[in-house]
Structure 1
């Protein structure tokens, strides 16, 4: 942004990130690198979203007058299974989906 810096900085309108024109290509995927720790953290959060979504849908069904064939303890156990499956699927497939989306942007 300054004239004395030598590098021409501009703000990318799509994601708000600063890009430097003299640092090479700026079409890299924004965000944090896909380290195993970051992938595990993201998968755990997606698992929590899946488990809580299952509980919300079950509660909505009960509020609308439906009757579930299991008790609440089993609902929490099923929510745990849904969370584990959603988290495992997110861990296995998230980097593949991100790579495919990055190819589509170019």
Structure 2
């Protein structure tokens, strides 16, 4: 049968890896695109809301390399992004440190 992401309940379309061994999930029917910073990678739900984000250089609020996961939102970009989740799929507040997933540096 299909592979299901236990954190979101969505079917996996494919796995996306980088040279450091970080693996992201692209959901079935979704896409993978560069983020605003060209080194960032975002996987997207079919409606173009963020699924997972890999920020190897961090971002303005936290320069530590990390990743993020999200439940399905309403559409593209941060405005359409769904709620943040921790590495176990629990919904967490946007400002909770658990929104930052450890990655291989």
Same-fold call, TM > 0.5?
no
Flag the structure with higher helix content: 1
Short-chain TM bin: under 0.3
Which structure has more RCO (C-alpha within 8 Å, separation ≥ 6)?
1
Flag the structure with higher strand content: 2
State the TM-score, normalizing by the size of structure 1. Answer: 0.20
State the TM-score, normalizing by the size of structure 2. Answer: 0.20
